[in-house]
């Protein structure tokens, strides 16, 4: 496995456990996330805070990586996130419903860390589905 894809795989393995200390250590101090449908560009601190809130609402969340394509220090990952909605999320009351969200993540790898990420998924449609479940 290419070094860059190994870092991305570790990112998801640590997210699925979850091992927050090791997971957040994979992000550079200047880590940036681009997610157009979820509010644009955020830095490391806002991303970590958002993920912690997300994990409180969906504590059983896991990400299945279907395949990765690596070119140098860039990695594209096709994935599906699955979880159960058990606590309030962004003002939406929990339903107890299970859900899944297919998507793609693109990563800039710097040595043994991630420096930048871009996510492509139907976040707006997913939120609407949470409200209806």
Percent of the chain with pLDDT over 70: 95
Query: Which domain CATH number covers 12?
Result: 3.10.450.50
CA-based nearest residue to 78, from 107, 116, 98:
107
Q: How many domains does the chain have?
A: 1
> 111-132: per-residue pLDDT in tens?
999 999 999 888 778 877 877 7
Q: Can you tell me the mean pLDDT for 57-77? A: 96
| Mean pLDDT along residues 50-70 | 93
Mean pLDDT computed over 58-74: 95
Q: How many residues does the chain have?
A: 133
Q: Are 41 and 34 in contact (CB under 8 A)?
A: yes
The answer to whether the pTM exceeds 0.75 is yes
How much is the pLDDT for 133?
A: 63
Longest C-alpha distance within the chain, in Å?
Answer: 43
Domain limits for position 57: 3-132
pLDDT at 123: 76
Sheet strand arrangement including 27-35? 40-43, 27-35, 113-121, 98-110, 74-84, 62-71
């Amino acid at each position: 496995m290419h070094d860059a894809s190994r870092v991305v795989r570790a990112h998801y393995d640590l997210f699925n456990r979850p091992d927050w200390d090791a997971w957040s250590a994979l992000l550079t101090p200047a880590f940036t996330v681009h997610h157009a449908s979820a509010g644009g560009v955020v830095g490391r601190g806002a991303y970590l805070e958002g993920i912690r809130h997300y994990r409180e609402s969906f504590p059983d969340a896991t990400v299945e990586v279907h395949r990765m394509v690596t070119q140098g220090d860039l990695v594209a990952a096709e994935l599906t996130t699955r979880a159960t909605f058990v606590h309030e999320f962004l003002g939406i009351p929990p339903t107890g419903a299970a859900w899944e969200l297919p998507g793609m993540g693109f990563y800039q790898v710097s040595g043994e860390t991630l420096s930048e990420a871009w996510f492509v998924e139907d976040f707006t449609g997913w939120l609407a589905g949470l409200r209806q479940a």
